Structure 1
Amino acid sequence: MQRPPNKNQATTPHSRPAAPSVARGGMTLMVVFVAVCLNLRVAFSGVGPLIPAMGLDQVSATVLTTVPPLCMGLFAPLGALARDRIGEERGLFAAMIALTVGIVIRSVGLGGLFVGTVVASAAIAVLNVLTPVLVRKRFAANRVGVTMGVYAMLMGASAALTAAVTVPLYQSTGSWQIALGVAVIPAVLGLAALPTQLRVPHISHPPTAKVSWTGLLRNPTAWAVTGFFSIQTLLFYTLVAWLPAILVAAGSDPATAGTSFALCFIGVAVGGFLGPAWAGRRESQRLPILVTIVLCLVGLGGVMLAPAATASLWAILLGIGLGAGQGVPGILYVRRAADHRQTAQLSSMAQAIGYLIAATGPVLASALHSATGNWNFALITLIVLLLVNAAFSPRAGRGTT
Structure 2
Amino acid sequence: MSENTENDLVATDPGDPRRVGPVATGIVGPTLALVAVVLVAAALRPGATSVGPVMAELRHQFGLNGAVAGLLTALPGLTFGAIGALAVALARRIGLTAGVFTGLVLIALGFLLRTFTGSTAAFLACTLIGLAGMALGNVLVPAWIKRHGGGAVTRLMTAYSVTLLIGAAAASILAAPLVRVAPGGWRAALGVWGLAAGIGLLPWLVLTLRERRDRADRAGAPILPPSGSLLRSPTALALSLFFGMQALNAYAQFGWLPQIYRDAGLSGEAAGALLGLISLLGIVGGFLMPVWVERSADLTAGIVGFGVLTVGGYVGLWLAPAAVPWLWAGLLGLGGWAFTAAIAMITARTHNPHVTARVSGFAQPVGYVLAGLGPLLVGVLYQVTHGWTAVLALLVGTAVVMTVAGLRLARPTYVDDEI
The TM tier, using the shorter chain, reads 0.7 to 0.9
Is structure 2 residue 109 aligned with structure 1 residue 101?
Answer: yes
Give the superposition deviation at 1:19. 4.4
Is structure 2 residue 287 aligned with structure 1 residue 273?
Answer: yes
Report the CA distance shift for 1:394/1:20 in structure 2 as closer, same or farther (over 3 A): farther
Is structure 2 residue 370 aligned with structure 1 residue 357?
Answer: yes
Per the alignment, residue 133 of structure 2 pairs with 123
Question: Any gaps of 5 or more consecutive residues in structure 1?
Answer: 6-12
Give the superposition deviation at 1:271. 2.5
Report the CA distance shift for 1:216/1:105 in structure 2 as closer, same or farther (over 3 A): same
**2:176 equivalent among 164, 167, 188:** 167
Report the CA distance shift for 1:53/1:314 in structure 2 as closer, same or farther (over 3 A): closer
**1:227 equivalent among 218, 223, 241:** 241
Question: In 1, are the aligned partners of 2:21 and 2:353 still within 8 Å (CA)?
Answer: no
Q: Deviations over 1:233-270 (max 9, x none)?
A: 11111122221333355676666544433322222322
Is structure 2 residue 340 aligned with structure 1 residue 337?
Answer: no
Q: Deviations over 1:72-102 (max 9, x none)?
A: 1100022211332222212111221222221
Question: In 2, are the aligned partners of 1:88 and 1:134 still within 8 Å (CA)?
Answer: yes
Three-state SS of the structure 2 residue aligned to 1:18 is strand
Per the alignment, residue 18 of structure 1 pairs with 21
**TM-score (norm: length of structure 2):** 0.83
Code of the aligned partner of 1:362 = P
Report the CA distance shift for 1:325/1:244 in structure 2 as closer, same or farther (over 3 A): same
Q: Deviations over 1:133-163 (max 9, x none)?
A: 122122244x433432322221221122223
Q: Which moved more, 1:106-115 or 1:88-97?
A: 106-115
**1:49 equivalent among 40, 43, 53:** 53
Three-state SS of the structure 1 residue aligned to 2:412 is coil
**1:313 equivalent among 312, 327, 352:** 327
Question: In 2, are the aligned partners of 1:40 and 1:155 still within 8 Å (CA)?
Answer: yes
Give the superposition deviation at 1:283. 4.7
Mapping 1:58-137, distance limit 5 Å: 58=65, 59-111=67-119, 112-137=122-147
Q: How much is the aligned-residue C-alpha RMSD, in angstroms?
A: 2.8
Counterpart-to-counterpart distance in 2, 1:93 and 1:255: 34
Q: Alignment identity in percent?
A: 30
Question: In 1, are the aligned partners of 2:83 and 2:136 still within 8 Å (CA)?
Answer: yes
Q: Deviations over 1:301-357 (max 9, x none)?
A: 3333457432202212211222x2221222211122231221111111111111111
Give the superposition deviation at 1:188. 1.4
Question: In 2, are the aligned partners of 1:105 and 1:115 still within 8 Å (CA)?
Answer: no
Question: Any gaps of 5 or more consecutive residues in structure 2?
Answer: 1-12, 415-419
Counterpart-to-counterpart distance in 2, 1:203 and 1:363: 39
**TM-score (norm: length of structure 1):** 0.86
Is structure 2 residue 167 aligned with structure 1 residue 158?
Answer: yes
Counterpart-to-counterpart distance in 1, 2:30 and 2:223: 33
Report the CA distance shift for 1:104/1:367 in structure 2 as closer, same or farther (over 3 A): closer
Report the CA distance shift for 1:365/1:75 in structure 2 as closer, same or farther (over 3 A): same
Per the alignment, residue 204 of structure 2 pairs with 194
Counterpart-to-counterpart distance in 2, 1:125 and 1:26: 25
Mapping 1:156-305, distance limit 5 Å: 156-171=165-180, 172-198=182-208, 199-200=210-211, 201=214, 202-203=217-218, 205=220, 209-211=224-226, 215-248=229-262, 256-305=270-319
Per the alignment, residue 381 of structure 1 pairs with 394
Per the alignment, residue 10 of structure 1 pairs with none
